[in-house]
Amino acid sequence: MVFIGNWDHEREVFLEKIAAVFPLKIWGDARWKNDTPRKSALRSCWQGEALTGEAMARVLAQSAVVLNLFRRQHRAGGVVMRTFEVPGAGGFLLSETNDEVRRLFPENETGAYFRDADECLLQLRHWLDHPTERRALAQRAHERVVGRFTYTHLAETLLSSLETGQWPAAQDWC
């Protein structure tokens, strides 16, 4: 189980519940070590500063599950880069949900989601107990990212729109 991201109090509370049940590794700012309570299990989960590039891709691909926790502003809508990075690297993403991510990665087809820590624990148990199903979903999500969501695809859409003067509707971008 992996989480890559910076500390905030909401994430601390959420991940404390996860770390009480499952082994967890966290990469992010040193606040995971310095700002959590001295007896917090999260202090020993912290592996170091946030990963980037090939090191991050390697961890994403090799982890059984990568957790995606939205900041408050993304809960109602919007998508963060981790939504694409994890499947792009071939990893399995278990993400907090909103309508936008479910539209881009339909549930149980190319996406797996939770609304709160209790639901996350249930989802973790399910996906860890079904590794073949988990790997198949990760593979479908990877194919979706590589087939539709690369920077090349985005650049082609932008260039085409500039040439024609016609901009696709938001739902047609992806």
What is the reported pLDDT for 143?
Answer: 97
CB 28 within 8 A of CB 46: yes
CA angle, residues 150, 156, 162, in degrees to nearest 5: 140
What is the reported pLDDT for 117?
Answer: 98
What is the reported pLDDT for 160?
Answer: 85
pTM of the model: 0.90
**pLDDT per residue as tens, the chain (174 positions):** 999 999 999 999 999 999 999 999 999 999 999 999 999 999 999 999 999 999 999 999 999 999 999 998 878 787 899 999 999 999 999 999 999 999 999 999 999 999 999 999 999 999 999 999 999 999 999 999 999 888 898 888 889 888 888 876 655 555
Coil, strand, or helix at residue 130?
Answer: coil
What is the reported pLDDT for 150?
Answer: 86
| Number of helical (H) and strand (E) elements in the chain, helices listed first | 9, 6
- Domains in the chain: ranges and CATH: 51-148 (3.40.50.2000)
What is the reported pLDDT for 174?
Answer: 55
What is the reported pLDDT for 161?
Answer: 84
